[in-house]
Structure 1
Amino acid sequence: MPRNAVSFSETMAIISSTTSQPLLCTNRPIFSTKPSFSPRPKTHFCTQRPVFAALDLQKWPSQQSPATHKGDSKLKTLVCRAARRKPTTTVQQENDGSERVLQIVLWVAEAVYILWLFLLPYAPGDPVWAISSDTVNSLVGLSLNFFFILPLLNSVTAGLINAPVLHPMSEGLFNFVIGWTFMFAPLLFTDRKRDRYKGSLDVLWGFQMFLTNTFLIPYMAIRLNEAESDYTPSKRSQLGSVVTNGAPIVGLVGGAICLISAFWALFGRMDGNFGSISDRWEFLISYLGSERLAYAFIWDIGLYTVFQPWLIGENLQNVQSSKIGIVNYLRFVPVVGLVAYLVCLNLDEEL
């Protein structure tokens, strides 16, 4: 064989070494034994530069192999299926929408409460800007008979400490609402959403206790705000620690005051010529229709009847595990449900 001649096997080796990558990008078999000397197809985008190859694929999609189209369709299908699995987000959006509506309702209720009970002259009794001296004197007398302390001392000391003599039905209604408000303190300080309210719970409950229930409605609306991503529980105040650690005592005292108030309204001051139970009931009807303070107490009782089961239901994790069932059932009973919640609190854990 001449020295310059090239054997067939050497020719095949040269061809396979120089055209290995283009063969991969065509439909020719990889282990082809028949050399091809025809013009090479356009395989310049099958290079080792992935960025330019991707650009070429987008520019000339018709030049992609059927296998590539098939792979892309599978990939797109997988991506679409993964995008559909978002049930948690959907539920969260629905909850956010319902809570937003509930917030609007609460703020509207706050506006109605202030306008109707304080400013407008259409409700029974006098508005704040035209309050009469009789209403002021009645309010002062009721405050002095707070929790029936002075009337009880008056009966024990044989008149050494004089208490204002008011109708027992008005005294009973006043102390019933105050006793119920008193028990709301531990409930607020153990509320798991209390830190969404940026103000002082001490001040909030103090205003609610000694002024009016109008301060509780904004709290119920603000606690529905979204929780902060970097939320850290705030340190409880000294008042909050006292009423939380003594929650069973607060519950028993508040429940006893509400019970005494009911009996006092019906049977208190029997020597004061306030009439029978039917006479006292007639007085209550006329009292609610003529005094703005008494009319506001009825509003407070209605709001407490709604807020009590709402707050207790969202804080059942604070209750002893063996008592959750009974508390969940009793929370709908006015006053009784709140007493049960406070008595059954799990004080061994951080609330």
Structure 2
Amino acid sequence: GDPVWAISSETVNSLVGLSLNFFFVLPLMNSVGIRLIDAPVLHPMSEGLFNFVIGWTFMFAPLLFTDCKRDRYKGSLDVLWGFQMFLTNTFLIPYMAIRLNEACSEDTPRDHSQLASVMTNGAPIVGLIGGAICLLSTLWALYGRMDGDFGGITERWEFLVSYLGSERLAYAFIWDIFLYIIFQAWLIGDNLQNVQLSKVGTVNYLRFVPVVGLTAYLLFLNLDEEQ
């Protein structure tokens, strides 16, 4: 791919198009005849990959805001999650390192921000929305835009292989997925005390399953403990 200082206009246009199709809002609106803006037509495999990562990132907000070691990080968790959501989850690497530090007396619990309160109190809804987006993204990648010239599953798989080998955005998404697989299992494992007692075993098992484990954590989060 191009170096970061020489990103091609094609990559920029692709990123803009993917952003406009955020959570498939425009394509789905267009499909039922609502055309405030025409959705850019991109390859469904790239659209699916993009929205899969975004859906997973969306679900990471309540996990971060309920992390038992979050106060060891002195920066803003709102900003950290915003960087995750709109740039890359590579920003999570320093957070994961900082939370390994020994607790000190200065690590006093901080009040939840407004964003943290909304995301934490609405964790089950966040989990359902994020999980649904990830499922829809997978189905869209395989079966979306069947009226277009994108072929069947075999052709789409061939496109994905080519896409991963030649496009900066593609391997950035794969890098994000790789990190999320590690960080999801790690963070949930450190925060099982936040889960409803009767569901701890289930969540502990599912935390190793991408997306599904985080969905389970959010659905079974003990909100009384977080109040």
- Length-normalised TM-score, structure 2: 0.98
Corresponding residue to 1:176 among 52, 63, 74 = 52
Whole-angstrom distance in 2 between the partners of 1:214 and 1:164: 28
Corresponding residue to 1:247 among 123, 127, 142 = 123
- Return closer, same or farther for 1:158/1:318 CA change in 2, 3 Å cut-off: closer
Which residue of the partner structure matches residue 28 of structure 2?
Answer: 152
Q: Are 2:114 and 1:238 equivalent residues in the alignment? A: yes
Q: Are 2:169 and 1:293 equivalent residues in the alignment? A: yes
Which residue of the partner structure matches residue 88 of structure 1?
Answer: none
Q: Are 2:148 and 1:307 equivalent residues in the alignment? A: no
Counterpart secondary structure, 1:349: helix
Whole-angstrom distance in 1 between the partners of 2:71 and 2:107: 9
Corresponding residue to 1:223 among 73, 81, 99 = 99
Counterpart secondary structure, 1:192: coil
8 Å Cα contact 1:153/1:161 also seen in 2? no
CA deviations over 1:250-304 (Å, ceiling 9, x no partner): 0000000000000000000000111011000000000001101101111111111
8 Å Cα contact 1:182/1:254 also seen in 2? yes
Which residue of the partner structure matches residue 152 of structure 2?
Answer: 276
User: Where does the alignment leave 5 or more consecutive residues of structure 2 unmatched?
Assistant: none
Q: Are 2:227 and 1:341 equivalent residues in the alignment? A: no
Written as runs of structure 1 = structure 2, the 5 A alignment for 1:258-277 is: 258-277=134-153
Written as runs of structure 1 = structure 2, the 5 A alignment for 1:71-90 is: none
Give, as a single letter, the amino acid of the residue that structure 2 aligns with 1:184. F
Counterpart secondary structure, 2:224: coil
Give, as a single letter, the amino acid of the residue that structure 2 aligns with 1:185. A
Give, as a single letter, the amino acid of the residue that structure 2 aligns with 1:127. P
Residue 209 of structure 1 and its aligned partner are, at CA, apart by 0.2
Residue 203 of structure 1 and its aligned partner are, at CA, apart by 0.4
Give, as a single letter, the amino acid of the residue that structure 1 aligns with 2:194. N
Residue 159 of structure 1 and its aligned partner are, at CA, apart by 4.5
- Return closer, same or farther for 1:275/1:197 CA change in 2, 3 Å cut-off: same
Which residue of the partner structure matches residue 72 of structure 2?
Answer: 196
Corresponding residue to 1:140 among 4, 7, 16 = 16
Counterpart secondary structure, 2:223: coil
Residue 213 of structure 1 and its aligned partner are, at CA, apart by 1.5
Give, as a single letter, the amino acid of the residue that structure 2 aligns with 1:313. G
Whole-angstrom distance in 1 between the partners of 2:36 and 2:191: 46
Corresponding residue to 1:328 among 180, 187, 204 = 204
User: Where does the alignment leave 5 or more consecutive residues of structure 1 unmatched?
Assistant: 1-124
8 Å Cα contact 2:72/2:107 also seen in 1? no
- Length-normalised TM-score, structure 1: 0.64
- Return closer, same or farther for 1:158/1:317 CA change in 2, 3 Å cut-off: closer
Aligned sequence identity (%): 83
Which residue of the partner structure matches residue 133 of structure 2?
Answer: 257
Counterpart secondary structure, 1:270: coil
Structure with bigger gyration radius: 1
CA-based RMSD: 1.0
The answer to which structure, 1 or 2, has the higher relative contact order (CA under 8 A, 6+ apart) is 2
Residue 158 of structure 1 and its aligned partner are, at CA, apart by 5.6
Whole-angstrom distance in 1 between the partners of 2:43 and 2:203: 35
CA deviations over 1:209-248 (Å, ceiling 9, x no partner): 0111121111101111111125321111000000000000
Give, as a single letter, the amino acid of the residue that structure 1 aligns with 2:48. G
Whole-angstrom distance in 1 between the partners of 2:107 and 2:86: 32
Residue 156 of structure 1 and its aligned partner are, at CA, apart by 1.2
8 Å Cα contact 2:46/2:141 also seen in 1? yes
